[in-house]
Amino acid sequence: MFEKILIANRGEIAVRVIHACREMGIASVAVYSQADRRALHTRLADEAVFIGPSEADQSYLSFDKILTAARQTGAQAVHPGYGFLSENADFAQAAADAGLVFIGPPPSAVRAMGDKASARRLVQEVGVPVTPGYEGLDDLESLAREAGILGFPLLVKAAAGGGGKGMRVVWEKAEFEEAAAAARREALHSFGDDHLILERYIPKAHHVEFQVLGDQHGNLLHLFERECSVQRRHQKIIEETPSMLLDDNLRSRMGESAVAAARAAGYQNAGTVEFIVDPETRQFFFLEMNTRLQVEHPITELLTGIDLVQWQIRIAAGEPLSFAQEETLPRGHSIECRLYAEDPSINFLPASGPLLRFIEPRGPGVRVDSGFLSGDEITVHYDPLIAKIIVHAEDRPGAIRKMVEALQGTVVLGLTSNSRFLLDVLAHPDFQTGKVHTTWIEQTFDEWQHPQCPIPPEVLAAAALTQFQDSGTSYGVNIDLQRQGPDPFSPWRASSSYRTGE
C-alpha cells in the first residue's frame, strides 16, 4: 500500500480524498494555487505545495508543477479527483513515466473512451446499443449532408471533452450551419479539439449512468445506476439512486452493457458508463464513458456501503476486488443535491465573493461533501460548487423528505445560492413522481424567481458578519488576524458592547 499520495485537485474532491487517505493511514499532499492559498484542503492535508497563479492552466493543469511537487514530497501516487487532469491520458502517462502510480484507469483506456467517436465504434463492436449517428468527416459540407440523412432533431457534439460544452440541439435544417459553427468554436476553446459528431436527439430522454469498478486482475463489475436527468445547461444538479424508470430487467441489461463497454476499453479502477433512455420505448443507448470518479459518487457509496475512493486507491496499489457482482446489493434510496453559488433566476449565473456564513445540515442519513467553511472565498477562477448534500433513507419518499429538511437546515449567507431553487424542484409533482428528463428544468422553471424575503440582504449580511466575528476561531479559520491586531484576546477585537476599565 502507498505511504503518501499527492492529490492533483482542489475543493471538495480534494477534501474527500484526504479523508480517505486518513482512514487508510496514508499521508496526503495537497497542491494549491494563489486563489486557494488558504483553502480547506490545504489545511487538512499533511503537506501542501504551492503550484502557481490562480489560472488553472498555470497551476492545476500544469503537468510539470504537479509532478515536481510529487517528486519533492516523496509521493508514490497521484489521485486526480475529477475535472482538471482526471481524464487526460497524457498526464496519466507522464505520471507513470515519472515513476508515480496514477490512481485511475490506464492511459490506453482513457484514450479509448476520451474521444466520443472512437468510443461509439468501440462499444458497438461488443453489442452495446448507440443512438443513430455519424462520426466520420466533419467538414461542414459532410456534416450537413449526414444531418439531412439522420433527420431532425439531432445533437451536434464535440468529440472530445464533456460537461455539455460543444453541444447543440438542432431542431431543423435551417439551424444546422450556425449550431455546428458555434459547437466547433466552443469545443476548440474548451478542449483544444474542434472535431464534431452527430447523434439523433431523443426528446424527454432520461440520463442514467452506471458505476463500474475493475481491478488489475480481470475482475470488473457494476454498482448499479444513478438517475441524473435533473440538469441545467447539460450539467447535473440533482442525482439519485435507484432510478424510478428502471425495472429489474432493464437494470440488468444496462448493467451488463456498462460492464461490456468498460471491458472493451480494458478498463481498470472506477469509471462511469452513461446512457440515454427513451421513456416511451424503454430503449437505452450508450452516451459516453467518464474515465474518472464522478461528482455524484457519494449516492452510490450510500446505496452499496462501498467506499469508492478507498477502492480506487486499493486497486491502484494492485489489490483485487474483495466482492463479486452478486454480492453487491442496493439498500434504500439516496439523493444528492449540488449546492452552487449561482443565481437560477438569471440563467444560473455563477456568483463569487466571501462566504460569510455557511452552516452545514446535520442528522441521521445526511452527508455533506464540501471544500469550504465560513469566511472562505468563492472565486471566479473555478467551479462555484459550495457543497454536495447527500441523504440516504429506506425509500424514495423518505429520502426526499430528508433532503428537504437538510436543505432547509443549510445556511449560506454572503452570496447567492441555488438552495431555494433545489427545494422548489424537489417539491414539484413531476419530480415527486419521477417524470423528469434532461430538458425538464429549462422547460419547467424557465421563469423561476427567488421568493421575496422580508429582511433586506444588507441586514442578513451584517448579521452573518456579526455572528461570524463572534464565533472566534470555530468558523473564522480564514480570518486574517493581523488586520485586527496580533492579540486574539484584545478587547478591540470584540463585536459586543464590552468596555475596558469597567
Q: Which residues are catalytic?
A: 292
Neighbour tally for 490: CB within 10 Å: 11
- Which is nearest to 367 in space by CA: 299, 458, 466? 299
Rg of the Cα trace of the chain? 23
3-state secondary structure of 488: coil
DSSP 451: P
What DSSP letter does each residue of 199-263 carry, written as one string?
EE--TT-EEEEEEEEE-TTS-EEEEEEEEEEEEETTEEEEEEES-SS--HHHHHHHHHHHHHHHH
Q: Is the peptide bond before 320 cis (omega within 30 degrees of 0)?
A: no
Measured CA to CA, the distance from residue 493 to residue 470 in angstroms comes to 9
According to DSSP, the residues that pair with 155 across neighbouring strands are: 169, 199
Asked if 93 and 107 count as a contact pair (C-beta separation under 8 A), the reply is yes
Residues 6+ apart with CB under 8 A from 135: 116, 117, 118, 120, 121, 159, 197, 198
